[in-house]
A = this chain, B = another copy of it.
Amino acid sequence: MNFVRRGILFVISSPSGAGKTTLARKLAEGHKLDFSVSYTTRAPRPGEKHREDYNFVSNDEFSRMVEAQEFAEWAFVHGNRYGTTIATVDQAIEQGKDTLFDIDYQGGRQIRQKWPTDSVLCFILPPSIEELERRLRQRATDSAETIARRLAMAHKELFHYSEYAYLVVNDQLEKAYDELRSIYVAERCARVRNEPLAQALLSEAAARFG
């Protein structure tokens, strides 16, 4: 029996340096879920296509959309704004398209509050603060000041783990990826998402045995 399962909103957040972006990309590659097409105010990079990679909009247009409350979540990243519209998310859910969100706890909270049963929230943890610090220092391009600021921010972000349903420790990438993928596969099996399957079997059984 085929039925259209509602699309899952799979949210991945973490303190800076815990590896969420690498994990999110790996998950998008291996599975039937993809990042939603976001709106952004930044300029397209060479090769990026409007409506495929991003919806590129002006600052004024983005502001208008914010005021009109069209966004499910939006955030400043390196001085540019990025956001996902409610319309995009609703459409994905109805079409049964699973969508990946690589966003911070504020975005995660907005998604969870608006779609409590359709969203699945995962928080990536570093194996230790010492290791997190080591990873941030390895990014040779960052200044000592930037690193200190990121660590302080990571500390703040950590407190928000309690808003997430799952915690994945990113010690070894392969293990963390297996856990993240398992959460996705498991959530697709949740009874609340599959009632029509069981109901169809019961109907078939009733028709055969009365």
Contact = CB atoms under 8 A, between A and B. Distances in A.
Interface of A: 1, 122-123, 125-130, 133, 151-152, 154-155, 158-159, 161-162, 164-169, 178-179, 181-191, 194, 197-198, 201-202, 204-206, 208-209
Contacts of A167: 189-191, 194, 197-198
A190 B123 CA distance: 10
Nearest to A154: B205
Contacts of A181: 182
Contacts of A191: 123, 161-162, 164-167
Nearest to A129: B204
A129 B205 contact: yes
10 contacts: A123-B191, A154-B205, A158-B201, A159-B202, A161-B191, A161-B198, A166-B191, A179-B186, A182-B185, A182-B189
A158 B202 contact: yes
Nearest to A210: B155
Copies of the chain in the assembly: 2
A159 to B, nearest CB: 7
A201 B165 contact: no
Given A128-B204, A155-B205, A179-B189, 9 more contacts: A129-B205, A161-B191, A164-B191, A166-B186, A166-B189, A167-B191, A167-B194, A178-B185, A182-B186
A166 B178 contact: no
A179 B162 CA distance: 26
Nearest to A161: B198
B126 A201 contact: yes
A125 B198 contact: yes
A32 to B, nearest CB: 13
- Interface centre among A123, A127, A155, A178, by most chain B C-beta atoms within 10 angstroms, is A155
A183 B178 contact: no
A184 B184 CA distance: 12
Nearest to A18: B201
B158 A209 contact: no
